[in-house]
Chain A
């Protein structure tokens, strides 16, 4: 009965009978302290532990049968992913690391040492899921090849080279350079990936660079690094050494001696590297690459009426039909029309025939030309150009003007005179307004600063040379110099900008640009011209004779081999004459007559001397 008495009314009252044992304040304090001690000393769990604990928690949350189902399905899922990854890996390894090999006609490619691929019509091999390792590429004289690898890496193979691709997996590429030279561009590698070039005496480990390896006679290897860093190690482990070669240095390894690192001198100049870089970017290009070579070297290349540069030259061009011409003074021009379809690399060898000597002389006799105020007509090249213009051979005329442009006899006023003529020639040659429109479109789409700079430079040259729109050209050049103050053409851009500003009558601006040019590019080969022109501007237009004398003297003392030296003496003499320093003037005029006894200012100089002596 007692039990019945204690029976509760209902479940609620029964459950409410549960009493929670009370805690004393001390117990609470202890608990609190313990809790906060735990909080303070909580270690951050590792990521994997975190995941496991999370999964455990998740499983606990679920009901047992569901948890088992989830766990088993999870395991099956993981197994499936593992199988998938291994399958993908297999399929990836079967994708070739070498994507494309572009080569010229006489290059031999031995694939796996068995097949000989030769004289293909397209000059290209695409590798699809082939085993690439063991591919041998041999180039003979005058031929070259480019191997495009994955991840934007590429190798350029120079003439007379034998290269064997020993291993080409996704993580490791090993090439054996038996002889000759190659240029390698490798993007920055991860820790796992390796890229090695072996030569008979050394191994180059790449860390992400542009560098050139030259292997000579199995006994000497030269590694020149343009960008980044290369680690060179010995082949044998007996006398092991390893050296890091940084950009701007080259290492010479010989059999007998220990290697030594030096600054390179025999490498191509900076501009050449830009061409090589362009060449190495072949995989990212949709355009074809035209490689111009000529005998003699240094001839001018004109494509569709545009002067592109001097041989040897590499230019990228999209598909289409082009009229090519290669000029050199004293040679018959070489001309050809070329259709570019799918080929990516075309080599053009222009062999120029020499003009008979009489041709040049007879021209001068037949066409006597009026004297110009700057006495340009006394120069035979100028006459040749005018003759070419009168017979509508504008391209020839342009080439002659170009050579005149770089000769020592033309000062800044003469240059203005020639610039007008050049404008006329170009306006006869093509529709440049359309070209400008195209370039403007390109400029708006361009994303790189480099690309933008290049387009600005092109726009400026066309505006100045072809359209005569000097104000626009000036703006474009200023923008170009702001965007890329250290670009490859920046030094010539300064020269051009100053000339344009002079033409526009902004003499102070022109003087300042020349000064900037002199300050920023003191080793530019054309710097003497800038100094000469700056001095001329001070003497004629700004009427600051002291400064003019200073700059003339600087030119004479610091550039003793300059083309402008003689003229500088003559001009300084003029300045001294105006300043009243007769003795200095006399000395300068006499030295001018000594330096160039048949110079264009000879008569004027003799006249001055007479005057001075009378005075």
Chain B
């Protein structure tokens, strides 16, 4: 009997959690409707709900050299505009990621094009130069330099591959989710991931154990 009671307690708790989820969903649905009507309060709430996620996505996919705040604002402006086209076929999270990754890709493309025009340095040389000094610097500086190295390597990737790697390796999204977010087939996601990884492993060979 005790077992039973415990189980029923557990059920009740699960029910409560479900109810909370339902409530959240309902709240989001109401928020969405209000946002579609360009209600500023609702938009602020939506912004506060997603700001951290979007900020992380942008930072991870673009790196510290970009004006992250500006891109973040762009993403939210685009999001508020595009909410009318959101029909609830996917979750709102996916939709937000979709728009965020789209804008990040365009930003990367802009930079990619500029970079192509300039001289491309041999990355391994730069990396090696920096390797000498790492030991002499404290942790924060190390971290900064590591980031720089990583983003230098990422910069050499094509934006399409880079966004896949960002989403998979850094954001921890599944392959299916990525294919939905980027609106490309699963096979393409896999191949981009594979090739991107290969290039990165080559570029960052000094930092990865073989």
A61 close to chain B: CB less than 8 A: yes
B80 close to chain A: CB less than 8 A: yes
- Cβ-defined contact, B43 with A11, below 8 A: no
Determine, out of B1-9, B174-182, B198-206, the stretch whose residues face the partner at the interface. B198-206
- Cβ-defined contact, B55 with A7, below 8 A: no
B117: shortest Cβ distance to chain A, in Å? 10
- Cβ-defined contact, B131 with A34, below 8 A: no
B109 contacts across to A, CB distance below 8 A: 60-61
Known: A16-B170, A35-B77, A38-B77. A8 touches B209 (CB 8 A): yes
Closest to A15 in B: B169
- Cβ-defined contact, B55 with A23, below 8 A: yes
Closest to B135 in A: A2
Closest to B168 in A: A12
Determine, out of B16-24, B44-52, B88-96, B184-192, the stretch whose residues face the partner at the interface. B44-52
Closest to A37 in B: B73
Known: A2-B134, A15-B169, A16-B169. A64 touches B113 (CB 8 A): yes
- Cβ-defined contact, B76 with A35, below 8 A: yes
Q: Which of A3, A10, A18 is most buried by chain B, counting CB atoms within 10 A of its CB?
A: A18
A interface footprint on B16-48 (CB within 8 Å = 1, 0 otherwise): 000000000000000000000000100110011
B82 close to chain A: CB less than 8 A: no
Q: Which of B109, B147, B200 is most buried by chain A, counting CB atoms within 10 A of its CB?
A: B109
How far apart are the CA atoms of A28 and B69 in the complex, in Å? 10
How far apart are the CA atoms of A219 and B143 in the complex, in Å? 100
A2 contacts across to B, CB distance below 8 A: 134-135
A114 close to chain B: CB less than 8 A: no
A18 contacts across to B, CB distance below 8 A: 60, 147, 150, 170
B150 contacts across to A, CB distance below 8 A: 14-15, 17-18
* Chain A contacts with B in 219-274, Cβ cutoff 8 A: none
Chain B interface size, under 10 / 10 to 19 / 20 to 34 / 35 or more: 35 or more
How far apart are the CA atoms of A16 and B208 in the complex, in Å? 13
Which of A8, A12, A32 is within 8 Å of B207, CB to CB? A8
- How many A-B pairs have beta carbons closer than 8 Å: the answer is 89
B72 close to chain A: CB less than 8 A: yes
B85: shortest Cβ distance to chain A, in Å? 15
B interface footprint on A10-33 (CB within 8 Å = 1, 0 otherwise): 111011111111010000100110
B209 contacts across to A, CB distance below 8 A: 7-10
Known: A11-B197, A35-B77. A20 touches B55 (CB 8 A): yes
B80 contacts across to A, CB distance below 8 A: 39
How far apart are the CA atoms of A60 and B108 in the complex, in Å? 10
B116 close to chain A: CB less than 8 A: yes
A interface footprint on B104-115 (CB within 8 Å = 1, 0 otherwise): 011001100100
- Cβ-defined contact, A11 with B56, below 8 A: no
Q: Which of A19, A20, A42 is most buried by chain B, counting CB atoms within 10 A of its CB?
A: A20
B64 contacts across to A, CB distance below 8 A: 21
- Cβ-defined contact, A3 with B131, below 8 A: yes
A15 contacts across to B, CB distance below 8 A: 150, 165, 169-170
Which of B43, B55, B60, B113 is within 8 Å of A39, CB to CB? B43
* Chain A residues close to B by CB (< 8 Å): 2-3, 6-12, 14-21, 23, 28, 31-32, 34-36, 38-39, 42, 57, 60-61, 64
> Could you list 10 examples of A-B contacts with CB < 8 Å?
A3-B131, A7-B206, A8-B208, A17-B147, A17-B150, A19-B147, A20-B56, A20-B60, A31-B73, A42-B77
9 more CB-based (< 8 A) A-B contacts, given A38-B77, A61-B109: A9-B209, A11-B204, A11-B208, A14-B207, A16-B169, A17-B147, A23-B55, A34-B69, A57-B106
